[in-house]
Amino acid sequence: MTRAATAGDRRALLVRQSDIGDFQDPAPRPALRSAPVLHWARWGLLPLSSVMRVETGDPVIALTYDDGPEPSETVQLLDVLAERGVRATFFVLSDRAEEHREIMARMLQDGHEIGLHGVDHANLTTVPGREAVRRLRTAKRRVEAVTGRPIRYYRPTYGAVNLTAFVGARLLGMDVVIWSAWAQDWFDAPPQEVADRAVGALHPGAILLMHDVTDQAQSTDSRPRPTFSRADVARRVLDGAAAAGFQVLPAGELLHRYPPVRALTVQRPHVRFR
């Protein structure tokens, strides 16, 4: 277990994923409490849990983006975040990070946090355990070579995670970070509709899942792939979050300030999300 994960785990609340509430609708959010079996077995189960949000009543959230970087979409998004003075966490793919080093450099220059999403967008629960760990190790080293900084957080592609992913990530010095709110921005819709889903899902301590790449998003049904501007959606989300009184932070800073809420997510989710 990593030093960072251990420090956070001392004050972590361990719950069932169902206790977090729906990713899209925060009202009503269930009261966070640890079931007796989770309370008594927490030290054995914490290494197999994912960070979902933090425990706080303060109006504060983490803004996170997956799948990039990508020249047109990510750069425009960074422009919006810079205009608003907002810092976020970008969970990047190492293939793209190496290809677009100048964008990675700007992320760091602008004060954003870099996390790992994988080498590419393969689902690591579908490959043998040793190969999954090898890919994680390779991806982490490649992104760290680009940034010159250690990677502390890992978000598995599709949110799909199993025992191998937990053990591999922890041995590599990373904690697994999922989310507690999303916009379903891998489906096409008017920008305001996407933003309304994101803002409607916000709650104190939320970790919001967004994406900074349009052309890689995949639908799970017949709905068309996104054509909207990620930057346009970001403006609307930030406007809505500000109107609701939320402060926006990178995930690592949120986890530093508040106790993490962790959930047992050792499964391949039935919903294939990015």
Residue pair 89/110 in contact by the 8 Å Cβ criterion: no
Contacts of 231 (CB under 8 A, 6+ apart): 73, 76, 77, 79, 80
102: exposed, middle or buried (Cβ count in 10 Å: 0-12, 13-18, 19+): exposed
| Residue 262: both structure tokens together | 């962790």
Contact 48, 262 (CB under 8 A): no
Assign residue 165 a region (left: φ > 0; alpha: ψ between -120 and 50; beta: otherwise): alpha
Query: What is the side-by-side order of every strand in the sheet holding 13-16?
Result: 13-16, 260-264, 49-54
Enzyme catalytic residues? 66, 211
Under a CB-based contact definition with an 8 Å cutoff, are residues 181 and 203 in contact?
yes
